[in-house]
Structure 1
């Protein structure tokens, strides 16, 4: 099912979609696929598979550590497409979260073709703005892939409008300024940002950065179309041995899904 259809189905039921992030290659390739499958079984509507990168400007400490371990373990870009293919077999919708340099280095058209062939729904590109995304937009159109761009509380209204027009699937609203990571409270401006982004023309707006508890997920679900969680899931795998980590991930994901789904 496409990203838009997944979100729309939840919205029709008066719920928000639960979107979970995990990096490919952590704790190793097979372990990352196993974790993503558990995340799907726990109720994730959409899964973001992260492409580990050596200069993660938006990633907080938890995701940075996991990504570095993946790189140290021999991660290669081809692993992302293998992971997408295996996780998509569960029936869950799979997006890839990546900084743009690996896409550019591989070749934009080739990256898009490989992603589509693997069964991926599209890309989230946190460091790419629509004004500079001409090649990616063209490739995504050619291969019927979603383009998810980010907005932040500091985004001007004209920027919101350009991002809404350029995005397909949903617009990713960063709840607060800063890097990813768990927070005890969420910036009140997240609600305002969702409202402003919708007013600028976005059909679907999902909120990420800082969401880590079922209560926060439920709160975000009251005003957004999707709830995005990353660090709280990755931490489960960092803080425990493999089997215990997967069990903790399943339990955490189930509680977050329940919050997002109301």
Structure 2
């Protein structure tokens, strides 16, 4: 059992709290029973970290409560964490029916909630721009509630993604308030993609210019909706009909 906070292995694991090292190592941390179990189902665990005395099938690092408190993201940590391999598949799906593109979203809770919602409504892939909040940020991971391990997600230039999708016959819609039609005025197609914009700035103009059409959600009394709420409404409205 490791009890020292100065242990070199612990120091290396601590580095995974920084995006720079997550990118360098292609690894990330998850905390708690639920997320560890979801990672186990996805077969992406490199090593477990635990204060428990029981045996696990995975390679396991046993640590003291003090060390776990240092490694954990929460104030009252559960007694188990895992180091996981990142998903290296960054290819766009060619035969998808429903896509969601995220343009510069910065709030971890929004991204996590959107991912859960996309999974719930049967969307095939989420495409995140390179300037979005890190997919493996601990707050993003927690807010996905495990959807991270099930949702097909890639990170790439949205201009390239939109060009590719249009070549595949996918209708691409940008969400905005200007020069757009109400969500109710758009018909459903077999292949559709929707671009959701940054919390403060919305979808970049050059991205909107590439979209086939623009849509907005009619609302009253306030100027705009939270992006996760807007994404949920859009995804539900246009979800593929069984």
> Whose strand proportion is higher, 1 or 2?
2
Structure with higher RCO (Cα < 8 A, 6+ apart): 1
TM-score bracket, normalised by the shorter chain, equals 0.3 to 0.5
Larger Rg, first or second structure (1 or 2): 2
User: What TM-score do you get using the length of structure 2 for normalisation?
Assistant: 0.37
